[in-house]
């Protein structure tokens, strides 16, 4: 058999139904649109989400409504009480936090929150610090280094 002899199996291909070509053609007069109504008229019908006048499904699911900002930066949050578990004089980086199991991954930049107290002088490297976190670290004679997110 050669390439020009290939053909689909008998009955595998079917011609499309030519609607609106007279009653003898089988799809004449209303052309399969039924009798009267919005969906029988020319032009576009109701929108896809329209539910016939009943309360739309989306209104019953308020958590699914609104706008989701694709460009928002989400941070991995670390509390000061977590940083207090490290030794004095240690340089705490996101890589070290990941190694110790305080972060799941390094996909998100790290933000240090001011929850808890810190009593040791440590150097903390993170993308962001809250005002209180920075004050508490510096009050404990440590340093807070900000990096690009």
Q: 11: pLDDT confidence band, cut at 50, 70 and 90?
A: very high
pTM of the model: 0.59
State how far the Cα of 20 lies from the Cα of 17, in Å rounded to an integer: 10
Do 92 and 122 meet the contact criterion of CB atoms below 8 Å apart?
yes
Do 128 and 111 meet the contact criterion of CB atoms below 8 Å apart?
yes
Residue 149 has pLDDT above 80, yes or no: no
Q: 59: pLDDT confidence band, cut at 50, 70 and 90?
A: confident
Question: What CATH number matches the domain at 76-146, 3.30.365.10, 3.100.10.10, 2.60.120.260, 3.30.450.20?
Answer: 3.100.10.10
Q: How far is CA 103 from the centre of its chain?
A: 21
Q: Give tens-digit pLDDT for 68-99.
A: 899 999 999 999 999 999 999 999 999 999 99
State how far the Cα of 129 lies from the Cα of 135, in Å rounded to an integer: 10
């Amino acid at each position: 058999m050669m390439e020009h002899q290939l053909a689909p199996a008998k009955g595998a291909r079917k011609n499309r139904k030519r609607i609106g070509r007279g009653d003898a053609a089988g799809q004449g007069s209303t052309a399969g649109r039924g009798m009267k109504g919005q969906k029988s008229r020319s032009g576009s019908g109701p929108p896809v989400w329209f539910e016939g006048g009943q309360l739309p499904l989306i209104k019953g699911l308020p958590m699914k409504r609104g706008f989701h900002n694709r460009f928002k930066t989400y941070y991995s949050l670390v509390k000061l009480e977590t940083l207090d578990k490290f030794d004095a004089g240690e340089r705490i980086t996101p890589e070290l936090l990941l190694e110790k199991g305080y972060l799941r991954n390094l996909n998100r930049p790290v933000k240090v929150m001011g929850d808890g107290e810190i009593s040791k002088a440590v150097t903390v490297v993170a993308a962001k610090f809250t005002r209180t976190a920075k004050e508490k670290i510096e009050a404990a004679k440590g340093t807070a280094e900000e990096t690009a997110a």
